[in-house]
Amino acid sequence: MSFKPNSSLVDRVVRSPNCEARRDGPRADILLLHYTGMQSSQAALERLCDPIAKVSAHYMVFEDGEVIQMVPEALRAHHAGVSFWAGDTDINSRSIGIEIANPGHDWGYPDYPDHQMSAVIELCRDILARNVIPPELVLAHSDIAPTRKQDPGEKFPWAKLYESGIGLWVKPAPLAFEGAPSKWLRQGDNGEAVATLQKQFAAYGYGLPTNGDYDALTKVVVTAFQLHFRPERVDGVADGSTQTTLRALLAARAMLPKS
């Protein structure tokens, strides 16, 4: 059984059975972006509609810009998986998911075509016009599942989306910013500086306890942050650029109008 698409930008409806009612009603307040991570876009679409796979998303955008809707926005799709953001572990119940056709890091990770990104931007703008989603809750899959996911990855043009009115973003501090490597934090470090860094990541929403140890989890959270907000070098090291960009992002969020 088909359904009427939520957006006039949808080219085709290909219904996925992998959905159900949302936990707290039909409204969503997170927009979550993914890449498909499979060699074939068609294979990805088939998997997202396979009842055995039990995964889905609301939308998929192909390389040529074609937009498919698989799940009505009012329903809960299965795209976030095991996840966490700002204290919540059921991200599927409060999000709209867009899968962007790209084979991902395991299959060469090509650039996102311009026409595909134009379609993604228009779809995001359309979703945001119909849903109350704060800029800081336009997120990457890697943000909410950093131990498992790295999509949509460092090539995804978050700055271009921000310029189009989508999401929250700040210009990353230059790699050479704020000096000496001796002030950088990396796996194996511990102490108050690490604890402060962990508190800042947790304050933004990342699932990171404050224990003062730059452990493996801290490294993957730093990596996830870099994938989204400081993609020039993604290495899990909290260098001066990463720390400065994080503080600037927190400051920018504090300046947003309160909903």
Residue among 225, 250, 234, 215 at smallest CA distance from 175? 234
| Residue 110: DSSP 8-state | P
Backbone CA torsion sign across 27, 141, 249, 207: positive
- Domain membership of residue 74 as a residue range: 12-163
pTM: 0.97
DSSP secondary structure string for all residues of 198-249: HHHHHHHT------SB--HHHHHHHHHHHHHH-TT--SS-B-HHHHHHHHHH
Of 59, 68, 80, the closest CA to residue 127 belongs to 59
d(CA 170, CA 163): 11
Residue that terminates a domain, selected from 105, 128, 163: 163
CA–CA separation, 137 vs 124, rounded Å?
Answer: 12
Q: Is residue 152 reached through a cis peptide bond, with omega within 30 degrees of 0 on the bond before it? A: yes
Mark whether 16 and 109 lie in a shared domain. Answer: yes
What are the pLDDT digits (tens) for 170-222? Answer: 999 998 765 567 789 999 999 999 999 999 999 999 999 999 999 999 999 99
| Residue 249 pLDDT exceeds 70 | yes
Residue 169 lies in a domain: no
SS3 for 20-41 is EECCCCCCCCEEEEEECCCCCH
pLDDT score recorded for residue 258: 81
Residue 251: which pLDDT band, with cuts at 50, 70 and 90?
very high
Q: Say if 146 falls within a structural domain.
A: yes
Judge contact between 218 and 207, C-beta under 8 A.
Answer: no
Q: Check whether residue 91 and residue 137 sit in a common domain.
A: yes
Same domain, 60 and 148: yes
Spatial distance between the Cα atoms of 194 and 49, rounded to a whole number of angstroms: 43
Residues 191 and 159 reside in one and the same domain: no
For residue 112, the one-letter residue type is Y
Q: CB under 8 Å to 43, separation ≥6 — which residues? A: none
75 falls within a domain:
yes
Instruction: Name the token pair of 195.
Output: 């604890």
Instruction: Verify that 149 and 227 share a domain, yes or no.
Output: no
Judged against a pLDDT cut of 90, whether residue 42 lies above it is answered with: yes
Given 63, 73, 99, 136, the catalytic residue = 99
Assess whether 245 and 133 both reside in one domain. Answer: no
pLDDT of amino acid 183: 84
Q: Are residues 60 and 185 in the same domain?
A: no
For position 227, which CATH number holds? 1.10.101.10
**Any domain includes 168:** no
Distance, CA of 30 to CA of 71 (rounded, Å)? 16
C-alpha span between 45 and 39 (Å, rounded): 11
Q: Tell me the average pLDDT across 214-242.
A: 97
Active site residue 20: no
61-104 pLDDT tens trace: 999 999 999 999 999 999 999 999 999 999 999 999 999 999 99
Examine the domain organization and report whether 244 and 151 are in the same domain: no
Give the tens place of pLDDT for each residue, 122-172.
999 999 999 999 999 999 999 999 999 999 999 999 999 999 999 999 999
| CA 75 – CA 72 distance, rounded (Å) | 6
At residue 59, the pLDDT reads 99
Among residues 129, 163, 197, the one where a domain terminates is 163
The pair of three-digit structure tokens given for residue 208, joined into one six-digit string: 């990171």
Residue 152 CA, distance from chain mean position: 7
Residues with Cβ within 8 Å of 49's Cβ and at least 6 positions away in sequence, in order, are: 14, 15, 16, 17, 18, 56, 70
130 found inside a domain: yes
Dist. CA 156–CA 224, nearest whole Å: 13
Q: Is the domain of 22 the same as that of 121?
A: yes
The total domain count for the chain is 2
Same domain, residue pair 150 and 208: no
Residue 1 lies in a domain: no
